[in-house]
Amino acid sequence: MHHSTDLKRMETHCDYAFVHPSINRDLFAAGTTAHAILERVAQLKPETDEEVTEIAEAVVEHLITEGRAFDGIPEPPLPVNAVMEGKAIALKYMMYNGLPSGEPEVGMAVDADLNPVEYLSPEALYGCIHDNIEFGVDDDGEMEYDVVVSTDYKSAWPTDAGELETMQRKGQALTLYARYKDKVQCLRMRVVNLRTGMSYEKDIFLDEMGVEMLEGWWRELKMVCRKADKLVADPGKAQPRPGIACVGCPLAAGECEEAWVVAMGGADQVDRYIAAQAVVDQSKPVIRTMMKNKTVTSGAGFKERARKVLKDDAIDLIVEQWCKGDLPWNPPTDQGELRALLLAANLGVTQVRNLAKVMFPGRELASDREAFIDSVTFGTTVAEFGVWK
């Protein structure tokens, strides 16, 4: 069976990335963690924030001590930093977008004639996992129709509506079509950017036009599967294709010499820049894991950097100061709503400095301004990753 995630490496990167056996899964640890937390929350249906946090912490503990299993194959524990990042992504997403409902992590597959078969069945030609499946009823103002919604969570910052047009999503739509074509009149493909909270949707109606489009996608997918068969049979034919495809490729961290050759001395300056950027981006999490929080005085790794962070009661202090009434205009008086607004804005020290400039404008109030900033922040250190001289 060809898995959608393997074919995606061929589609997004290159043939060499598809056949290469040693994909460093640590690179996907943050996304894996966010997915795992959303899956458990959808399964356990917690009712309070505390329960959501408990579920997230249990998932984190499992991933950093035991690791996960992919298609039943156990994998080693994931790096702590990346897992914590994934936890933060999932919790923030759920705080602003609600908890997932529906059925999580649903494996589906089709055979060579687009018949639905069991996921991982020996007859399967193509298979995928839907992050979440839900059924509903919609209407177009005249009549109601049944819809199946497949949600795909993405943790990559650049995720946008373009993800709806990938071969991966087309393949996922085909598995839905094969399984539910007699049950629903519409397939709703949804992609969610977990970092920004943005959601993108595409409805495929199972009318004559929709079915024709799906049949075209099926012909394309079968061609890709035939190509994948050939590459699996003769991996030597899979050539690296360094260039823009290297961005985000897990092999750029080291396994793909070709990307390094271009990064170090490619003839084209733009190709050199892109390959070098890909090597740096993909190497960062690998070196991070190697350093395991060890600090360095020179070279690459973590270094303690002093910085200010907001105190726990910073929002209350800011609202109190803001509402004091000695501003050049009538300030809002409802502290509750204002506090909720500031809380939702997820303020950092930079934004608080900007607010303080408004509350204490001009040079003559500079010392009051600094005193106020000091009253709502405290000094700490963070381990910052980078190259140090």
User: Which spans of this chain sit near ligand SF4 (rule: CB under 6 A)?
Assistant: 13-14, 16-17, 240-242, 245-246, 249, 251-252, 256, 258-259
Smallest separation, CB 7 to ligand SF4 (Å)? 14
Nearer to ligand SF4, 174 or 246 (CB): 246
Distance (Å, rounded) from C-alpha 135 to C-alpha 278? 40
According to DSSP, residue 163 is labeled G
Smallest separation, CB 248 to ligand SF4 (Å)? 9
| Whether 105 contacts 153, CB under 8 Å | no
According to DSSP, residue 295 is labeled B
Using alpha carbons, list the distances in angstroms from residue 99 to 42, 69, 366.
Answer: 7, 24, 44
Nearer to ligand SF4, 105 or 281 (CB): 281
Burial of residue 283 (CB within 10 Å: 0-12, 13-18, 19+) is: middle
Nearer to ligand SF4, 268 or 370 (CB): 268
Nearer to ligand SF4, 245 or 314 (CB): 245
Nearer to ligand SF4, 221 or 256 (CB): 256
Distance (Å, rounded) from C-alpha 204 to C-alpha 144? 15
- The residue among 1, 11, 19, 388 whose CA lies nearest residue 234 is 19
Both tokens assigned to 296? 């360095």
Smallest separation, CB 321 to ligand SF4 (Å)? 52
- The residue among 211, 119, 145, 223 whose CA lies nearest residue 173 is 211
Smallest separation, CB 279 to ligand SF4 (Å)? 8
Smallest separation, CB 18 to ligand SF4 (Å)? 9
The alpha carbons of the chain give a radius of gyration, in whole angstroms, of 25
According to DSSP, residue 322 is labeled H
**Residue 151's beta-bridge partner residues?**
132, 190
Smallest separation, CB 278 to ligand SF4 (Å)? 6
Residue 294's CB is within 10 A of a number of other CB atoms, namely 9
Nearer to ligand SF4, 244 or 382 (CB): 244
- The residue among 27, 23, 13, 25 whose CA lies nearest residue 284 is 27
Nearer to ligand SF4, 210 or 243 (CB): 243
Helix axes 167-180, 208-233, angle to 10 degrees: 120
Smallest separation, CB 145 to ligand SF4 (Å)? 41
Nearer to ligand SF4, 242 or 285 (CB): 242
Smallest separation, CB 274 to ligand SF4 (Å)? 9
Both ends of the chain: CA-CA distance in Å?
50
